[in-house]
Amino acid sequence: MSDNARSQNSLVAVRNLSFSRGSNKIFKDVSMDFERGKITAIMGPSGTGKTTLLKLIGGQLQPAQGTVMVDGKNVHRLRRGDLFELRKRIGMLFQSGALLTDMNVYDNVAFPLREHTHLPESMIRSLVLMKLQAVGLRGARDLMPNELSGGMARRVALARAIALDPMMIMYDEPFTGQDPISKGVLVHLIKSLNTFLGLTSIIVSHDVQETSAIADYIYVISDGKIIGEGSPADIQNSSSDWVQQFMVGSADGPVHFHYPAKDLQDDLMSAGKRY
C-alpha cells in the first residue's frame, strides 16, 4: 500500500512529533501512520522511547511540537472530559499486566465495565465470561492474581483490555518475561482478536521473532528517528546497518557495545590519577 493510502486509512496519525526529557531528545520530527484494522509494531533498542510514544498517543504526555490524531481528534487539544471518553475506546495491555491484586480474575475483568457503564450485573457477568472465554481463562475466574502464572496474568489483562470493546489496543512489551509457550499463546491471541474484533493494534516490542510474525507494518526507531519501516519482509531485507543490527541482534555495529571512552592504553597509563 502506498504512503498516501496508508495515511488516508489511518486511525492514528503522528505528524512531525518532537519530545524531550530535559536535554535528552526522545523524538525528533517523527511522523507515523497506524492503519485501521491492522497490527503496527514499534520496535527498536531499549531506551529509544517506544513506551513514551504510547503515552503521547494516549495523551499522558505533551509533545514539544507536532500532532497526534486519533480517530480524527487532536489528542492534545481535547478537553479533559473528551480525552477520558476517547481513552475508553482504547484498550491498554501494560508490560506488568497491572492486575488489581486484591481482586480475583472475574472482578479484574469486570472492573472497567462497572466503572464506565451502567449495565446490570447480569449483563456484566455475561460479558466477563465471554471475554475470559476469548483468552482461554473462563475456568480461572475465581483465582487471585498471585495464583496466576505470568502468561495467565497477561491473558487476564488482555481480557480486561477488551472488556469495553475498544477500537484499538496498545500493547507495551507483551512478550517480555514469557516462556516460549506463553509467547506463542499471546501471539495467537493478539492476531486472532485483532481479526475477529476488527481492532487496530499497536505493539511496542523488542522481541523480533514474535512481533514480526503478526505485524502488518513495522517501524524501527533509534536515536529519536525512524531508521526503518515497512512490512516484516521489508524490514528483514533492509539495507540499513542499524536495522540489521537490531533484527539480527549483533553485539556491535552502529549501536556500539562500548560506551564512548578515551583510548584504553592512555587510560591504563594514567593509573593513580583521579577521574
**CATH code (residue 6):** 3.40.50.300
Enter the pTM of the model.
Answer: 0.83
pLDDT in tens, 232-258: 888 888 777 667 676 665 555 555 545
In a domain, 91, yes or no: no
In a domain, 7, yes or no: yes
Domain extent, residue 23, equals: 1-84+208-275
d(Cα 239, Cα 220) in Å, to the nearest integer? 13
d(Cα 182, Cα 67) in Å, to the nearest integer? 36
pLDDT in tens, 135-180: 889 999 999 999 998 888 989 999 999 999 999 999 998 887 788 8
Radius of gyration of the chain (CA): 21
In a domain, 136, yes or no: no
In a domain, 105, yes or no: no
pLDDT score of 3: 63
pLDDT in tens, 175-216: 877 888 888 888 888 899 899 888 999 999 888 888 888 999
Domain count, the chain: 1
pLDDT in tens, 45-103: 777 788 899 999 999 999 999 999 999 999 999 999 999 999 999 998 887 778 888 99
In a domain, 270, yes or no: yes
Q: Which three cell numbers stand for residue 230?
A: 515497512
Q: Which helix (H) or strand (E) holds 25?
A: strand 24-35
- Percentage of the chain lying above the pLDDT 70 cut: 88
In a domain, 269, yes or no: yes
Q: Which three cell numbers stand for residue 12?
A: 492514528
In a domain, 167, yes or no: no
In a domain, 163, yes or no: no
